[in-house]
Structure 1
Amino acid sequence: MRAVYATSLAPDDPLAGLEIGDVPDTEAPAKGWEKITLKASALNHHDLFSLKGVLDKEDLPMVLGCDGAGVDAAGNEVIIHPVVASPGWRGDETLDPERTVLSERYPGTMADHVWVPVGSTVPKPVELSWEEAACLPTSWLTAYKMLFSISPAAPGSTILIQGAGGGVSTALISLASASGFRVWVTSRSQEKRFHALTLGAEQAFDSGARLPNRVDAVFDSVGQATWAHSLKALRPGGAVITCGATSGSTAATDLNRLFFTQLKILGSTMGTRDELERLTRFLVGTGIRPTIDTVLPLGEAIKGFTKMLEGNLIGKIVFIH
């Protein structure tokens, strides 16, 4: 089958280990898994991190991709929930310390077919295209959980979203503005700031800029480069919700500010299958759709990886299978 896969790991040159070609058809890794024929997949920073060395060398070669939508053996159109809990786990799968996601221990979605545990898909609404559906399982699901399950801020609150161009950020802008939040964003790019306003943001600022007022919550997927600004931007009692660290995971925290102004730091990772299904219903009900930067055939995936590595994108990069 055709696949996009990692053959080697290189922190300084991640695309050196990226290959596109034919690989042997995979088999079910365990009883109770089903085969999905992919129609579309989407690119995430997770895929670049895998190539940089997050993967274990002994797991190579590994088919990449967490996001995907396709057709199951019964002909149902489905969206894949990529979080794989350990056998016997009950409850929120994102809290399982032994959890993994597709493309880590098990082959991912950038292929003609993928095996997933039975029960880990949700129906694809007919209102969503294959390209739109493929955007949801990672960045959009992450944004949905951050906003509606983790953050204490309610609609009507003022929130700040750090970074205006990535998949999580554009999802947060769309979801929050559609839900009645007052949305502010930051970005170094004038183009990305302008696009954030078209998605519903009220104001857009240069990265690190002094804000007119402090905010109720900050959503930070950037990490090291924005962390100090995120904490300074909060009103007393406010919360920063973090889901990633694309600029680096080591950041100093002003503990005096943290305890004296009673700030909250909340971590969030991915989302549950049930949250993914609710997300699809939210999109159908509101009419909002993922921002898609580029759509490419699977065979041209290297172009998409290159664009993400350069940071030259707004929204998602999608591959058609």
Structure 2
Amino acid sequence: MFAAYAARIDRDKPLNGLELGERPEPDVPLGWTTIDVKAASLNHHDLWSLRGVGLGEESLPMILGCDAAGVDADGNEVVLYSVIGATGHGVGPRERPSILTEKYQGTFAERVAVPQWNVLPKPKELSFEEAACLPTAWLTAYRMLFTNAEVRPGDSVLVQGAGGGVATAAIVLGAAAGLRVFATSRDETKRRRAEELGAEAAFESGARLPHRMDAVIETVGAATWSHSVKSLKPGGRLVISGATSGPNPPATELNRIFFLELKVVGSTMGSKEELAGLLNFCAAKGVRPVIDSTLPLDRAREGFEKMATGDLFGKIVLTV
């Protein structure tokens, strides 16, 4: 079957390790099932895999991709939850949870095998392309907002770095849930797009805001950390799920954090139950993922290059 896979690890030039070509059909252990992939979306996780983060040389070649929607053996339209081993269903009960492509072959292929437990029904309201955007970036934003930030309708939330998959999802989900969403970006076009998606206002990165925030959604890291901390009202929450600009900010702002009793919360993806909630929320409220571009699987390299440069707004989807 045709697939996009990591053939080599290159920490400095990750795309050097990306190959497109034929790979064996997936193994299907007891308790697993095979899904015909219709659409799969890219995440920064896929670039990190090519750099060897979470993926060792001994596991190569590895088909990339952890998000997908497709059709199961009975003809049902389904969405995949990409954390394998969280419960023991279809794997050893003591197996450490991992994301697809860290240990098991991924979704950038004509077919993928996963434990039956990891398959959820796709709402008929969502296309395959839309549903494929949800299991990582959109699930991460959903958990950040509604589980870890503990915000309520009417609260103010700052989303740093409008344009990325998680940030874009947070803007759309927050606006749909009745939050006052504000966003930042270095790019004027991305600021305008953020407002079109429901942000009350969008500002240049680091700009003074109209008032302090109840919560900040942080995925940029070092470049925006100080601004995020300074943007919170006393007792506010800073929820962080990534650091695309680096993990080590020049100033940690510890005095402000303890003096104002701020809460810093780490957040990683979400549970299968939260993914089911996200699917239902999108279907019921008419919320749709923002798709930057859709490419056939044999043009996957173009999608990787676009994601690597940051020249995107929303998700990149590969269709099979």
Q: Which moved more, 1:37-46 or 1:118-127?
A: 118-127
Q: CA deviation at 1:295?
A: 0.4
| Structure 2 residue 254 is matched with structure 1 residue 265 | no
The one-letter amino acid paired with 2:41 is A
State the SS of the aligned residue for 2:284: helix
Q: Which moved more, 1:131-140 or 1:250-259?
A: 250-259
Corresponding residue of 1:19: 19
Q: Residue deviations 1:206-251, cap 9 Å, x none?
A: 0111112111100001111111111111111001001111111223
State the SS of the aligned residue for 1:296: strand
TM-score by length of 1: 0.95
Corresponding residue of 1:99: 97
The 1-side partners of 2:86 and 2:255 are apart by 39
Q: CA deviation at 1:117?
A: 0.9
Q: Give the alignment's Cα RMSD to 1 decimal.
A: 1.5
Q: Residue deviations 1:285-312, cap 9 Å, x none?
A: 1111011011000000000001111110
Corresponding residue of 2:204: 206
Question: Does the aligned pair in 1 maintain the 2:33–2:114 contact within 8 Å?
Answer: yes
Corresponding residue of 1:40: 39
The one-letter amino acid paired with 2:275 is L
The 1-side partners of 2:225 and 2:128 are apart by 35
Quick one: structure 1 residues 69 and 302, their matched pair in 2 at CA, closer, same or farther if it must change by over 3 Å?
A: same
Corresponding residue of 1:143: 141
Question: Does the aligned pair in 2 maintain the 1:6–1:64 contact within 8 Å?
Answer: yes
Corresponding residue of 1:279: 278
Number of aligned residues: 315
Which of 121, 125, 128 is residue 126 of structure 2 equivalent to?
128
Which of 173, 176, 179 is residue 178 of structure 1 equivalent to?
176
TM-score by length of 2: 0.96
Structure 2: gaps spanning 5 or more residues: none
Q: CA deviation at 1:86?
A: 5.1
Alignment of 1:33-112 (within 5 A): 33-54=32-53, 55-85=55-85, 88=88, 98-112=96-110
The one-letter amino acid paired with 2:56 is D
The one-letter amino acid paired with 2:315 is K
The one-letter amino acid paired with 2:205 is S
The one-letter amino acid paired with 2:284 is G
Q: CA deviation at 1:205?
A: 0.5
Q: CA deviation at 1:163?
A: 0.6
Question: Does the aligned pair in 1 maintain the 2:148–2:267 contact within 8 Å?
Answer: yes
The 2-side partners of 1:83 and 1:40 are apart by 18
Alignment of 1:113-262 (within 5 A): 113-251=111-249, 252-262=251-261
The one-letter amino acid paired with 1:265 is V
Q: Residue deviations 1:261-296, cap 9 Å, x none?
A: 100001111111111111111111111101101100
Q: CA deviation at 1:97?
A: 9.1
Question: Does the aligned pair in 1 maintain the 2:81–2:120 contact within 8 Å?
Answer: yes
The one-letter amino acid paired with 1:190 is E
The 2-side partners of 1:31 and 1:256 are apart by 54
State the SS of the aligned residue for 2:51: helix
Q: CA deviation at 1:87?
A: 6.1
Quick one: structure 1 residues 97 and 164, their matched pair in 2 at CA, closer, same or farther if it must change by over 3 Å?
A: farther
Q: CA deviation at 1:125?
A: 1.1
Question: Does the aligned pair in 1 maintain the 2:88–2:95 contact within 8 Å?
Answer: no
Q: CA deviation at 1:85?
A: 2.0
Q: CA deviation at 1:98?
A: 2.1
Quick one: structure 1 residues 202 and 86, their matched pair in 2 at CA, closer, same or farther if it must change by over 3 Å?
A: closer
Q: Residue deviations 1:67-122, cap 9 Å, x none?
A: 10011111111000001125648xxx9xx992101111000100011111111111
The one-letter amino acid paired with 2:9 is L
The one-letter amino acid paired with 1:263 is L
The one-letter amino acid paired with 1:23 is R
State the SS of the aligned residue for 1:301: helix
The 1-side partners of 2:102 and 2:247 are apart by 20
State the SS of the aligned residue for 1:266: strand
Q: Among the aligned pairs, what percent are the same residue?
A: 55
The 1-side partners of 2:169 and 2:88 are apart by 32
The 1-side partners of 2:87 and 2:173 are apart by 33
Q: CA deviation at 1:31?
A: 2.3
The 1-side partners of 2:286 and 2:299 are apart by 30
State the SS of the aligned residue for 1:53: coil
Q: CA deviation at 1:33?
A: 1.1
Q: Residue deviations 1:157-202, cap 9 Å, x none?
A: 1110001001111110000001110000000000100000000000
Structure 1: gaps spanning 5 or more residues: none
Q: CA deviation at 1:148?
A: 1.0
